[in-house]
Amino acid sequence: MSDTSPTQNSQPALIRLSYNGDVIPNPSGNVNSVIRLLCSSACLSHGSLVFRAMFAPDHFAEGEDLSSISLPTIPLPDDDPDAIYRLCKILHFDMDIADCTEPIEPTGLLDVEQNGRFADFAIVCDKYDCRKTAMPWIMAYFPLALHRSQQIGIEKLLFVTYVLELPKEFQETEAQSTFSLLCTAQT
């Protein structure tokens, strides 16, 4: 679903999440971002009160740009590109549950070398108030993440369950952590 033609400024290809898109979120906040997404501000606003407030014409500069400029780029300087990509796909109803375990560009949530991906996604969901919207994907992904907790890092899973307000999963992760510590202590 991406436009494969490179742009004049050697920016990455535009990934069209909405053919009627009116905004380009720019995670990492720079012009030469790793990823460019064409999104619908309406889809983003329906799934997130934060995006709704951000795109309202009378509240923030991002909303003013939407009413006066064609395809504004919205800088998201503190956000992980992979996490924003996944969140935007979810908000555009373009992500299957199976996609939770599939790697995407630049990397996937389960990439062991990038073991903070699930935590980055949790941070973005919390920041943009999308926990409820993303919950089906989070719950589909969590058992696999718990199974791979040694590679991902049990502390990261504890962080994820805390940030996403998942008390049952927090207890499961804590129990697994305790069990791992007991097994390590016995050897």
Per-residue pLDDT, 141: 82
Query: Which of these, 111, 110, 106, 44, lies nearest to 81 by C-alpha position?
Result: 106
- Going residue by residue through the chain (187 aa), what tens digit of pLDDT does each one get? 444 444 455 667 788 999 889 999 988 755 556 788 899 999 999 999 999 998 887 655 554 554 445 678 888 888 988 889 889 999 998 876 555 555 443 345 545 445 578 888 999 999 999 999 999 888 888 888 888 887 778 888 999 999 999 999 999 999 988 877 777 767 6
Cα 158 from chain centroid (whole Å) = 18
* β-bridge pairing 73-76 and 24-27: parallel
For every residue of 85-135, which 3-state class applies, written as one string? HHHHHHHCCCCCHHHHHCCCCCCCCCCHHHCCHHHHHHHHHHHCCCHHHHH
CATH number at residue 121: 3.30.710.10
Q: How many separate domains does the chain show? A: 1
Per-residue pLDDT, 6: 45
Per-residue pLDDT, 98: 56
Per-residue pLDDT, 4: 42
Per-residue pLDDT, 34: 72
- Provide the residue range defining the domain that includes 115: 2-186
Per-residue pLDDT, 59: 57
